[in-house]
Amino acid sequence: MIAPVSAVIASAVTVLLLFLSYRVSGFRLKYKQGLGVNDDRDFEVAVRSQANLVEYAPVALIVLALAEINGVSATLIYWAGMGFFIARVLHAWGMYKGRGGTHPARLVGALLTWLSMLAMAVLAVFNVVQLSV
């Protein structure tokens, strides 16, 4: 079984991760610092923005793909996946704009991340329950 919608969402998240990683690499080269961060707030924000995506993306993409493989509607997979992707873009943007502090985009991004992941989990479980009935 294939999961084309999940593949597209995973690809978009990968491009976002590459962008965030590029920013971290720029700071690592600038400061010749291969591990950790220094007192540059923007460096720390870049590292945490990248790490935050890495913390959430694997679970979200696995659940999304499993839901799609198990027969959840491609439309629902698309909306849950796009919600997650948009949430992660908003969160990263809010992290940069707020320099690690509070920012409306960061808050909305975090909430939308949680809601989209909850939707993915509910869709996956609901579908499995429907299949077993």
Confidence bin at 101 (pLDDT 50/70/90): very high
**Phi, then psi, of 59 in degrees rounded to 5:** -65, -45
CB atoms within 10 A of CB 115: 14
CA neighbor of 113 nearest in space, from 54, 71, 70, 48: 54
| Count of Cβ atoms closer than 10 Å to residue 80 Cβ | 29
Which residues are within 8 A (CB) of 48 and not within 5 positions of it... i.e. 6 or more apart? 95, 100
Please tell me the predicted confidence (pLDDT) of residue 130. Answer: 84
Q: Is the pLDDT of residue 133 over 80?
A: no
pLDDT value for 83: 98
The answer to whether the CB of 95 falls within 8 A of the CB of 49 is yes
pLDDT of residue 131: 72
Structure tokens, 9? 């969402």
Q: Of 3.40.50.10860, 3.30.2020.30, 1.20.1440.230, 1.20.120.550, which CATH number belongs to 4-132?
A: 1.20.120.550
Closest C-alpha to 6, from 86, 87, 52, 72: 72
The mean pLDDT value for 48-75 works out to 97
* 38-57 residue pLDDT tens: 999 999 999 999 999 999 99
CB 46 within 8 A of CB 23: yes
Section 61-90 average pLDDT? 97
For residue 52, the surrounding DSSP H or E stretch is helix 41-69
pLDDT per position as a tens digit, 4-41: 999 999 999 999 999 999 999 999 999 999 999 999 99
